[in-house]
Amino acid sequence: MPAREPRLWAVDTPHTSYVVALDDHDRLHGLHWGPRLTAEQALALLDLPASPFRPVIGREAPLDLSAASAFQYGHTGVQVRFGDGTRDLELEFREASEADDALTLVFADRHYPLEVRTRYRSHPDSDVIERSITLQNNGTEPIEVLRADSATWAVPDLDAPRLSRLHGEWGAETQLTRTPVPYGETVIGSRRGVTSHQANPWITIDDGQATETRGETWSTTLAWSGTWRITVEKDPAGRVAVSAGFGHDPVSISLVAGEVLETPVAAGLYADGGFAGAASAWHEYALAHVLPHPEEDRPVLYNSWEATEFDFTAEDQMRLAERAAAMGCELFVMDDGWFGARVSDRAGLGDWTPNPDRFPDGLGPLIKRVHETGMRFGLWVEPEMVNPDSDLYRAHPDWVYHQPHRRRSEVRQQLVLNLAKPEVAEWMHHWLDDLLSANEIDFLKWDMNRPFTEAGWPGSADPDRLWFDHTRNLYRILDRLRADHPALRIESCSSGGGRVDFGILRRTDQVWTSDNTDALDRIEIQEGFAQVYPARIMGAWVTDSPNPFTRRVIPLDFRFRVAMAGVLAVGGDLRIWSDEELARGAELVADYKRIRPVVQHGRRHPLKAGQAAGVQYDRDDTTVVLAWRHSRRLGYRDPLVKLHGLDLDGRYEDARTGRVHHGAVLATHGLDLDLGPADYASTMIELTRVR
């Protein structure tokens, strides 16, 4: 264990400290991840006994920089293979440097020309710590990198560690589960080329006792939109370590002479305010340090997909736009079907010029008319894809991922372009840049509808690179487009919420949360989503009833109130909505605009009262409650809902009734939601602090 010398570093945040120290063999141990310690207290960690458990070889305290090396029988976050077959690393500490709120510790292998840097960054206004590593080949021979996790976090000893995570599938993303951490390794991740619907790169560990409002949590998330894995390991002594990184088994990268491999950021958060407290801290971090324009309110958008799918004319789009504008929508997004021979999902993907039958004079006339309604104009694109039945594919059949002598499996009649190839990346940037330069497009919905298969790159010296370079080139293109078109805003979509992570969110403004627009199903999806991502990016459309997917009939108010908990949007076929529905929709859009700054920039608290549930958002002197209840039993009365985070000495005026409530009473006894007896009851309540 650590030598008695100050080879110890503490990364401090406003309320927490993360402490690492080197032992005699230059192994870096994670000593503390918890409440903030003074320098003296941190140093005292070196006096703790090595391990409260039997000192068995191989059962060592979890390492912070966990490189494959002698006696490391559990999970290791850094794995390489040198030219002669050697796989063990023997890292020697070289130096520490501090700059820009970041600590960097530099290591080099004792014999081979590999340098490893581990970096820790904190912010003065957040308890989130950002970590990454870099591997540099300082020799002349290639070094194969089998695994380069951004961070391995040693979680303190806990009696009954519990793992919270988000699993899912198409139409049911971000389903929250909490289960005891089993012994051994639990691995979640994606091998699909995108972040995935099946798992989101976030986990939380608690001691099994935390509630929404109480208890310590240790969470981590990976800012990466390609394949990834998070390993949660509970060793035989019950200690938990969490390691997060890009890539997946069994892909590797060959690091050539002089090359540097930089991993994405794995961010970690220790918080002591229950699950909701941790979620709020993640939201604040996203708003302060991830999103490109956090200060902006996201507009109420209208999206035409569910209304028309592939069957429309420019006139149909205009009719929808007029009705959307009348309802108060601020951004009109024309979805799939506007280009090439794309009148179904069978052809045209890759041919990014307006369909000549639908738009004989290009997109200009429609964009102009949409702008005349006062709305901004947005357009759907799916740049990483191609239909085999397209001019692009006929010209460049080698531009898709493929392997010799293997079939090219299609999903939705489409293949994935090899964006790792420089010429594909150049072509993609070029047509997007041209499209944005030639048209007044304010917003792109960037879709990605199928996972990779047969992911090969014939002719490449290092084909597995595609798993990394696809995402890197995607990021580069997004960054370039944003820099050259500063007014452009972008939505990340991947058949709904298949690409939601802090990597894509650095360069996009909101996400399409799920293709499932059924308000009842959405409640759970949104609850899971909110564990880490803020309402400010959570796109939520109000669509038709019966819902096109579930056939469920849900009243308009309920559909709106659930969607108003995020970035409200409308996605129904407004051509068939009745006058009453259009008028009520307009009222609810106006309601949303009033509460929008509170929802999109405020602090979120989940609410629960019997069968009713909802969310509370607070900002400055305003509190907004959105609540809903599917049904209730005969004779049953909804309990009052206790509010959170209020000033107990303050008084709050309820805009519905004009009544003034005491903060202390709202917090300890609760607020009457007054939902009434009907099924699908919902409400929106605005409380203002009275001075």
Contact footprint for ligand DGJ (CB under 6 A): 305, 335-336, 380, 447, 449, 493, 495-496, 512, 515
- Which residue's CB is nearer to ligand DGJ, number 151 or number 334? 334
- Least distance in angstroms from the C-beta of 307 to ligand DGJ: 12
d(CA 524, CA 628): 12
User: Residues 509, 515, 518, 544: which is the catalytic one?
Assistant: 515
| Pairing assessment for the beta strands 199-206 and 162-169 based on DSSP bridges | antiparallel
For tokens 């409002």, what's the residue?
213
- Least distance in angstroms from the C-beta of 396 to ligand DGJ: 22
Task: Show Cβ contacts of residue 41 under 8 Å, excluding neighbours closer than 6 positions.
Answer: none
Task: Show Cβ contacts of residue 193 under 8 Å, excluding neighbours closer than 6 positions.
Answer: 226, 227, 416, 451, 452, 455, 467, 470
Which string of b and e fits 522-546 if b means at least 16 CB within 10 Å?
bbbbbbbbbbbbbbbbbbbbbbbbe
- Least distance in angstroms from the C-beta of 227 to ligand DGJ: 20
- Least distance in angstroms from the C-beta of 294 to ligand DGJ: 24
- Least distance in angstroms from the C-beta of 303 to ligand DGJ: 7
Cα atoms in the 13 Å half-sphere on the side-chain side of 257: 3
Annotated catalytic, 447?
yes
Measured from the Cβ of residue 187, the count of other Cβ atoms closer than 10 Å reads 15
Which string of b and e fits 49-72 if b means at least 16 CB within 10 Å?
eeeeeeeeeebbbbbbbbbbbeeb
User: Residues 442, 447, 521, 557: which is the catalytic one?
Assistant: 447
- Least distance in angstroms from the C-beta of 462 to ligand DGJ: 32
- Which residue's CB is nearer to ligand DGJ, number 448 or number 609? 448
Residue type (1 letter), 416: V
DSSP secondary structure string, 197-251? SSEEEEEEEE-S---SSSS-EEEEEE--SSSEEEEEEE-TTS-EEEEEEE--TT-
For tokens 């805009």, what's the residue?
655
- Which residue's CB is nearer to ligand DGJ, number 510 or number 622? 510
- Least distance in angstroms from the C-beta of 314 to ligand DGJ: 18
Q: Where are the alpha helices (DSSP H) in 309-381?
A: 314-327, 364-372
- Which residue's CB is nearer to ligand DGJ, number 263 or number 495? 495
Rg over alpha carbons for the chain, rounded to the nearest Å, is 26
d(CA 569, CA 540): 6
Task: Show Cβ contacts of residue 31 under 8 Å, excluding neighbours closer than 6 positions.
Answer: 2, 8, 19, 20, 21, 42, 45, 46, 48, 154
Is residue 475 within 8 A of residue 503, CB to CB? The reply is yes
- Which residue's CB is nearer to ligand DGJ, number 149 or number 336? 336
d(CA 251, CA 116): 20
Question: Which residue's beta carbon is nearest to the bound ligand DGJ?
Answer: 336
- Which residue's CB is nearer to ligand DGJ, number 206 or number 336? 336
Annotated catalytic, 515?
yes
- Which residue's CB is nearer to ligand DGJ, number 210 or number 349? 349
Task: Show Cβ contacts of residue 622 under 8 Å, excluding neighbours closer than 6 positions.
Answer: 595, 598, 602, 686, 687, 688, 689
- Least distance in angstroms from the C-beta of 496 to ligand DGJ: 5
- Which residue's CB is nearer to ligand DGJ, number 37 or number 567? 567
d(CA 354, CA 211): 52
The catalytic site residues sit at: 447, 515
